[in-house]
Amino acid sequence: MNAETIVHEFGGIQNIVDGLLTNTTTGISGTKQDIADRHRIYGKNFFPPPKIKTLSEILLDGFKDPINQILMVAAFVSIVIGVSKEGVPEGLIEGTSICIALSIILSVGSTNEYVANVRLSKMLASADETNVTVYRGSEEKFTIPSADLVVGDLIEFKNGQKLAADLLFVSGQDVKCKETDLTGEPPEYIKEFVSEENLADGNSPVMFAKTECTSGIGKAVVIAVGVQTASGSAAEKSAKASEENDQTHLQEKLEAITLSIGKLGFGVAILTALSQVVRILLEMWNVVECGCSNIFTC
């Protein structure tokens, strides 16, 4: 929502404030019913943490790795050839060793990845927990957790503070915000009460969640919370895109290289197995001297 939309389509900031049943001096009424209605209509100020895979999902993903699949095939081939040549238990040693090594690699790697994901999720969740100064039903201000903010709340902000919701600037002085985390653009943007008279200045009264107030002090009305904010919507879209393609460009390149190596290794394994079969047949037909690979007579 830009300044022109606020002025021309909504008739100005005051019309928006009135429509949200709030006040630029005392905020919302703040009764239990009022808070409940605002939660129901506009949602809660909650930013869902990124979804993390369970330990079993990570473990199953490990079995999809081409290298691990090659190791499993190698273990199977090694057991079959080992048992056919040396019997049990001697013939099981090499293949079983591969299986044990693969189990250790998968279990340790999956556990480490899961623990790291859990820690990251908790860190991101705690980063959103802040306290906010609000006015509810009077000119006296008090502090509440940012998660308790609702649309229509009148809050007080100051320089150095990270904003907890999308806001509409209603009063203050020398206010600037840095929106790098949201837009990627480094400049600081001036925020001021916008009207028909100063619309041409190009400044905006809208302040976004998870951006930083770098200068000034003032008051603002909450106009969006949680996933309805600009940053919440962007995070939701990013999460959906990540589910559709959770690999980076580098990971895709590495996977292509791994597949090429895997195909080469699989081809060599097939040739090795075929050569072993041919030798067994030649020994069985007495074409070459028996090397103890003749599973019937040697």
For residue 45, count other CB atoms closer than 10 A to its CB.
Answer: 27
Ranges assigned E (strand) in 106-153: 131-135, 141-145
Q: Which residues contact 239 (CB under 8 A, 6 or more apart)?
A: 50, 51
Mark whether 59 and 122 lie in a shared domain.
yes
* Residue 295 shares a structural domain with residue 168: no
Q: Indicate the DSSP class of residue 266.
A: H
Q: Quick check: is 56 in a domain?
A: yes
Could you read off the pLDDT tens digit of each residue along the chain, which spans 298 residues? 677 788 888 888 999 999 999 999 999 998 999 999 999 999 999 877 777 788 888 888 888 877 777 778 888 888 887 887 777 778 788 888 888 888 888 888 888 888 888 887 777 666 667 899 999 999 999 999 998 999 999 999 999 999 999 999 999 999 999 988 777 777 888 998 888 888 888 888 999 998 999 999 999 999 999 888 988 887 767 666 555 555 556 566 766 776 777 677 777 778 877 887 787 777 777 777 766 544 555 4
Same domain, 161 and 220: yes
DSSP structure class, residue 25: T
- Do 95 and 153 lie in one domain? The reply is no
- Do 145 and 219 belong to one domain? yes
Q: Is residue 207 domain-shared with residue 277, that is, in the same domain?
A: no
Q: Are 179 and 108 contained in the same domain?
A: no
In a domain, 242, yes or no: no
53 and 96 in a common domain: yes
The reply to whether 30 and 53 lie within a common domain is no
Q: Are residues 39 and 180 in the same domain?
A: yes
Looking up residue 15, the CATH number of its domain turns out to be: 2.70.150.10
The total number of structural domains that make up the chain: 3
Q: Are residues 112 and 202 in the same domain?
A: no
Q: How does strand 212-224 pair with strand 166-178?
A: antiparallel
Note down the domain range covering 86: 49-127
